[in-house]
Structure 1
């Protein structure tokens, strides 16, 4: 039996200028908990998997709204593992976020693992106000240890001030367009990820495009944004590359 579950998160400034969470609700496998924000200037929410999901046929959605001036970090307690279900329908996992003026969202979940036999369609859509800031990390691990990957189709769409900033789709595994595992795409790697940083500061000073080692690249976008894409043989090395890239970008933002 498939599961339909939705989590809703709203972050807003209270009358003291502190980020509060007037809406924090999840059901089924999407349990959401307020956790300690080490920066001391915002709120942090951790998504805790309450059951195995997504399985084939499941429909999962997380909706996040960060209101004017608020700061929110969303992470997860563990990796999300896409598993095969009893039927033939794919699972879907939709992330919908909006970030208001002078607000900030850091979307930093743990890895998504595509287990053998699974089929998952994942979409991430973000709407940013002109002065909003975003840090978004996505990491996909294609197959568990010593197994081949499932089918994973992902789409990332970000609009800023009502205009498209990035709209890209990826597909891996059985049924994906031919060549996805070839030398021009993954080259045999099984960990793939990206880091998107959007900040108005990049309108004044934006890092140049450059390689970050042999299998990662930093690319400025047509807007105050930088995209880092990376491949690695495993999840640990992928995280190291993306963390190092984020540290460099935060140094630029700090001036």
Structure 2
């Protein structure tokens, strides 16, 4: 008998409810990916991803799809950090995220950090499609190892397209077996927490942000089209969140 890891998929669809708010006609989660609608105000709907099991472990395949239809507003967070663990099965775990934002829609994707524990091997792939008048705030935070622990192998790829054109396509590999130099001065420079914000706004197409440093370890970069990228490194998750929150405040997002 062949033993495989856990397969789990979650789906969210948000659309206007006709009364100035946002309905969630599809809110489906499996196994470790439980979804809960939480209290919100105004036009925005809020969803929390609640981890019902440990993982992802070696061999697991997780995925989340979210679609925000025209005129809807959705905010998605998670109840706790996601911890990649080695598990009993050998092999890579995979976690895929697929986000679609329609014209006139808005998505705030703000999960808690992903922690790469010693011995784990995880590939995370996030693909985002935003239509010309859609709006997006996306946060990614990755922590290499728990306190006093060496990291596992972590590969993360983020692709963002606006109006069908790629504005960002980047990959970062860290930990044992990753290409040399990932911990050197040109990449993480010894830091153990790395994060980024991708912000898409139609007005950035007319008034692009100016590239600049945001303190000593965060940088703001304009992307092609109506988008901007903030990248930050820090010694721990708490400091990283502080840097990214400050960047959001400065950008008014």
**After TM superposition, is the score higher than 0.5?**
yes
Choose the corresponding residue for 2:25, options 1, 6, 22: 22
Shift of 1:45: 0.3
- Matched with 2:163 is 161
How many angstroms apart in 2 are the aligned matches of 1:213 and 1:219?
14
* Paired residues, number: 250
- Matched with 2:234 is 232
How many angstroms apart in 2 are the aligned matches of 1:51 and 1:88?
19
Shift of 1:108: 0.1
Shift of 1:204: 2.4
How many angstroms apart in 1 are the aligned matches of 2:212 and 2:26?
41
Structure 1 alignment gaps of length 5 or more = none
How many angstroms apart in 2 are the aligned matches of 1:202 and 1:71?
19
Shift of 1:54: 0.2
How many angstroms apart in 1 are the aligned matches of 2:48 and 2:18?
24
Taking only aligned residues, the RMSD between alpha carbons, in angstroms, comes to: 1.0
How many angstroms apart in 2 are the aligned matches of 1:117 and 1:223?
39
CA contact 2:126–2:159 (8 Å) conserved in 1: yes
How many angstroms apart in 2 are the aligned matches of 1:35 and 1:208?
36
Choose the corresponding residue for 1:43, options 22, 42, 45: 45
For residue 252 of structure 2, give the secondary structure of its aligned residue in structure 1. helix
* Mean CA deviation greater in 96-105 or 12-21: 12-21
TM-score by length of 1: 0.96
TM-score by length of 2: 0.97
Shift of 1:207: 2.2
How many angstroms apart in 2 are the aligned matches of 1:54 and 1:117?
12
Structure 2 alignment gaps of length 5 or more = none
Choose the corresponding residue for 2:217, options 215, 224, 230: 215
Moved over 6 A (4+): none
Q: How does 1:132-143 map to 2 (within 5 A)?
A: 132-143=134-145
- Matched with 1:67 is 69
Choose the corresponding residue for 2:188, options 180, 186, 189: 186
How many angstroms apart in 2 are the aligned matches of 1:172 and 1:37?
37
Choose the corresponding residue for 2:15, options 12, 17, 26: 12
Q: Kindly provide the CA deviation profile for residues 23-52 of structure 1, in whole angstroms up to 9, marking residues without a partner as x.
A: 0010100000001225x2210000000010
How many angstroms apart in 1 are the aligned matches of 2:39 and 2:140?
22
For residue 230 of structure 1, give the secondary structure of its aligned residue in structure 2. strand
CA contact 2:43–2:72 (8 Å) conserved in 1: no
How many angstroms apart in 2 are the aligned matches of 1:211 and 1:231?
12
